[in-house]
Structure 1
Amino acid sequence: MVNRIFSDWEWNIMVLRWGICGAGLICNDFVSALLAPPNNVHEVVCVGARSLARAQEFADRFGIKKAYGSYDEAATDPNVDVVYIGLIPCYHVKLSKQILKAGKNVLCEKPVASSLNQFLEVQQVAKDCKRFFMEAIWSRCFPIYRKIKEEIHSGNLGEIQHVQCQFCYTVVETIRFKKPELGRGGLHEFGIYTIQLATMVFNNEKPLKITADASFSDEGVDQNGCMTLTYKNGGKAVLVYSTLFQGKNSAIIYGSKGKIEIDEPFWAPASANLPSGKITNEIPCGPAPYNFPNSGGLRYEADCVKTCLEAGNLECSEVTFAESQAIYQIIDEVVRLTGINVQW
């Protein structure tokens, strides 16, 4: 069940006012998707970055009125309804808590945390402050994902027998993937997407057994990994991730009565094949070029946040606290099995 905010937060938002913490690649894509037509329901009030010059360049790109040389200023701007955190993961927990305590609602990029315990800390602050918080697992907000959930829950696939997917993308030369303290290893960055698909398909059920293996760079960052999750009745999820090569990043869900094929990239799909036929959803085109595949789909996530705030909800029904907890429980076990460094 989704928790609700007190009635003073239940209002009809004509335009949702955003503050942006970060001026990097993903923030570019989020804001571009946010402002994709029709763009009369979202407004970017301000952006904060490590330097004023960096924030100003970002603001000029999108016509944002205010640029701040710190995250604090963006997070406390009185005209902001909700803050999007698009920084590298090592900043997510601290900044999420800080912004929630400042009385703002928060959408924080995944992974919010390195472990379940860290995520629970943020969750508790959100509850104590009675503010909306969502981990930005944007896949769940795509219309295709919603349709897949409906198909599974309807029983049309029968009993789920197998989930197979991989997220393999070349980023080995990116500096933030070379330092464990930045929280940018393959499991938390890419593997989390494969895990979220498995937890969705198996309805947050705790696996009976998890096996996992990973390989590491000279600096100790996990680069490749493979996980097998075994559920009751013999259902399995085989999940692969890599930061070393570009793979075919599709996914297949097998049931006793049929299968679903999610076209690549499975985490941001434009199409999928169901037993009833092919389904598609639009990938909105924003004012600035995107850096990552199908980033226009971030608009679905932003619209979901607006819907939640209008309804007075503390959580998003597509990515509830329970959903994130189920994901981190698996991440914690994979970390234990493989020895992945989670010092951030």
Structure 2
Amino acid sequence: MATRWGICSAGKISHDFAVALKTLPAEDHQVVAIAARKLEDAREFAKKHSISTAYGSYEELTRDPNVDVVYVGNIHPYHLKACLLFMNAKKNVLCEKPLAMNTKEVKEILDSAKRNQVFFMEAVWTRFFPVSVEVRKMLAQREIGEVKMVRSEFGVPVLHNRRVVEKELGGGALLNIGMYCLQFVCMVYNGERPESIQATGVCLDTGVDETVIVTLKFSEKRMAVFTYSSSIQLPNDAIIVGTKGTIQIPAWMWCPTSLIVNGKETQYPLPEPCFPLNFHNSTGMRYEAEEVRQCLIKGLKESPVMSHSDSLLLAELEDEIRKQVGVVYSQDCQ
């Protein structure tokens, strides 16, 4: 029986998610409903993606008995309200990253998932790419010995995008870009909390972070460093250095399709999309969607790959980085 998806928000990322689902077998995944704040937007989305039902409010989507799980694709300042709305209606939820504006909101979302006994996962899609699966396997088998250093970079000039610049829209390079580097470090070190974290950088006149360098120290003299920026183009690669070798992601570390292990490169191509995409390699969202399906089939309430504790750690470290750089959102003062 297919996993029946409802989509919350008819924006760009929701379009790409719907396209990604089309690369999976129709007998496994079906989008049965789309909800937007304006009915005309939902109807246009539904027509384009051949979705049978369109709603002009999120509340209507909560009452649809044919929806097994909701993909929340609106911007992160509104994730808290949307997630609580669906989970209080006993809907399973896959919420786009970043999960929320701060740790307080993340805890509220996770508490709601537990209270309502529904499946919930933050859509950190990078973790489910075949490249990431292979990296975790190699680390578990200690193929490069003991990991001593992790480095990653993610920088793209996106200051033309109001969503990245304006504080009220959840702007800031960390939540929009840098969190990919941070989650990569957390994945490599298997969710271990760093002993110390130091962040230094510059902010825009709007009060959000623009370019930041973060250094993390872990137990047993292990280190990590990452740089992120919303104003400049960086190599956007990552490397894990161990005592017996290296693992490299040469480009697109946030949506990886190739891996270099001790100098040998392997490609992991993505399926072609049926429609033009808004974001690079977006058909890779198929992997997180399949993870949701497998978890639902097994009766799990969270993914072992991107668990609730993983989301909480990310939020706590993000809060500390923002604190050190001097970024404060209105949600932090509530």
TM-score (norm 1): 0.93
Aligned residues: 331
> Partner amino acid for 1:119?
V
The aligned counterpart of 1:56 is: 43
CA displacement 1:83-139 (0-9 Å, x = unmatched): 000111110011101100101000000111122222111111101100000000011
The aligned counterpart of 2:268 is: 281
User: Aligned pair 1:99/2:61, yes or no?
Assistant: no
Asked if the contact 1:144/1:279 (under 8 Å) is kept, the reply is: no
> Partner amino acid for 1:43?
Q
Asked if the contact 2:153/2:235 (under 8 Å) is kept, the reply is: yes
Question: 2:313 & 2:271 partners in 1: Cα distance?
Answer: 30
Question: 2:64 & 2:230 partners in 1: Cα distance?
Answer: 37
Question: 1:96 & 1:184 partners in 2: Cα distance?
Answer: 20
SS state of the match for residue 77, structure 1?
A: coil
Q: Which runs of 5+ in 1 are unaligned?
A: 1-13
The aligned counterpart of 1:15 is: 2
> Partner amino acid for 2:73?
G
SS state of the match for residue 210, structure 1?
A: strand
> Partner amino acid for 1:159?
E
User: Following superposition of structure 1 onto structure 2, how do residues 142-291 of structure 1 map, counting pairs within 5 Å?
Assistant: 142-275=129-262, 277-291=264-278
**Counterpart selection for 2:283 from 284, 296, 306:** 296
1:37 to partner: Cα distance: 4.7
The aligned counterpart of 2:64 is: 77
User: Aligned pair 1:36/2:23, yes or no?
Assistant: yes
Question: 1:46 & 1:221 partners in 2: Cα distance?
Answer: 35
Which structure has more relative contact order (CA 8 Å, sep 6+)? It is 1
Question: 1:334 & 1:42 partners in 2: Cα distance?
Answer: 38
The aligned counterpart of 1:118 is: 105
Asked if the contact 2:38/2:56 (under 8 Å) is kept, the reply is: yes
Q: Which runs of 5+ in 2 are unaligned?
A: none
Asked if the contact 1:37/1:284 (under 8 Å) is kept, the reply is: no
CA displacement 1:191-242 (0-9 Å, x = unmatched): 1110000011111111111110132221112111111111122211111111
1:247 to partner: Cα distance: 2.1
User: Aligned pair 1:323/2:310, yes or no?
Assistant: yes
